[in-house]
Each structure stands twice: as C-alpha cells, then as structure tokens.
Amino acid sequence: MKTQKNKKIKSADVRGQKGESWLYSDVVKEHFFNPRNFMHYDEEKKFKFNATGRVGSPACGDEMVLWLKIDPKTEKIKDCRWRTFGCGSAIASTSVMSEMVKEKGGMKLDDALKITPNDIMKRLGGLPDRKIHCSVLGDKALQAAINDYFRQTKQHKRIITAGAKVIDKDLNITDHDIEEAVLEGAHTIEDVQKRLKVGVAKPEAKEAIEELIRFYWEKYFS
C-alpha cells in the first residue's frame, strides 16, 4: 500500500527528551492497548450483523474485517465489531473508527460514508507520516461494509464506487470488488457473484468481469 503524504497533519513521530514519551499520540496508545469493539472469540456466533466488509490483504501488511449492525429503519449503525491484521496504528485506527460510528446512538450510513482517513487521524491526535496509510484502511472497510449492506438490501444505485472502475452499472460492481473476490479465492464469474451476493451480471459486463478475474488471478497467484 502506498504512503499518502499529508503535510497539514502534525506528525506525532517524536520521542520525548527523556525517551519516555510514545512514538504515537496518547490516543493511539490508549486505543492500541485497550482496543474497543473488536470481535472477541466468544462473540463470533452471538454477534448479530447485517453487513460486513473485508479490505486489504496480509501480503500488503494490513487486512481488516468489519461487521455492522445497521437499523434498517433509521439507517443508523447500532453496533459494530472488527478484526485487524496490522501494526499499532492500524489497530488503533480501526478501534477509533469503530467508536466514531457507534457513538451518540449510531451514525447514519450517509454520514458514515463521509468519514475520511483525515477524520480518523484527527481523532487519533495524528499519526507519524509513514503511518498515515494505516488509517486509510478504516474508512475503506467501512465503505465496503456499507456497500455490502446496500447490495443485500438491493439498493444497488447507492453503492459507492469512487476511485474504482465500475464494471457492471446495474449492480455497481467495480474492479476493486473483483480484486477482493479473487484475493479471497474466487476463480470464476460465479465465484465472484457468490461472494458479492448478486445475481446474473449484464451480458456485456460478463466478459469484462472474466477478464479482470484472469488479470488479478495472474497478478496474485501465478
């Protein structure tokens, strides 16, 4: 994953003169050592959710899974759980993001989609420059989970496809979706559809999807 430079954010990569202060801000430290809302082993079967998103891969150093419990009437995020493979800042970013979407009775989906890496970082009290990419995964996971919710509830038009190439306009399937599916082992168009929980794709999109599957398969597995 590439580092995003953002000079406006004050870097917290400063150790105190006495060598006692932390590489990260106190908020990062607090969330890292006492992470909120992660999926404990004993909750796996009990936690009720209606949307989930997985982004990243261990090979690029970060992977995150997010489970959301969304109230269909108010479209508010009532609860969430997460699991993250990554460094201290990736874990702290996820934890703080999970707190942001849950607090004050739950964030509305439209507002949650507006959360940027910057918002997460501000709340963390900054991240060292070369750690900024770690906070990007949090909002990506959130977007993936909310997209999953839209897909499950047949609101295909609401699926956010910013920054990605839309392959199937009706179902709003993007090249990113296909990449993620392939990373999870999808090998055919049926595998991809099964993973995205969508029906038959448009005939004209089918060829493009198959081509992308081949592309990502070769990229990652050959």
The residue range among 130-138, 153-161, 170-178, 187-195 that interacts with other proteins, by the rule CB under 8 A, is 130-138
Out of 9, 12, 51, 64, the only residue in the binding site for other proteins (CB under 8 A) is 64
If one asks whether residue 25 binds other proteins (CB under 8 A), the answer comes out as no
Helix 133-152 and helix 117-124: axis angle, to 10°? Answer: 130
Question: Is residue 216 involved in binding other proteins (CB under 8 A)?
Answer: no
Distance of alpha carbon 216 from alpha carbon 27, whole angstroms: 38
Which of the following is catalytic: 134, 142, 171, 212?
A: 134
Q: At what angle do helices 26-33 and 117-124 cross, to 10 degrees?
A: 100
Task: Please say if 60 is a catalytic residue.
Answer: yes
- Residues 109, 74: contact at Cβ < 8 Å? no
Question: What is the biggest distance separating any 2 CA atoms in the chain, rounded to whole angstroms?
Answer: 66
**Binding of residue 83 to other proteins (CB under 8 A):** yes
53 contacts other proteins (rule: CB under 8 A): no
In this structure, the chain runs to a length of 222
Binding site for other proteins (CB under 8 A): 1, 3, 23, 32-35, 38, 40-41, 54, 58-61, 63-65, 83-91, 130-131, 133-134
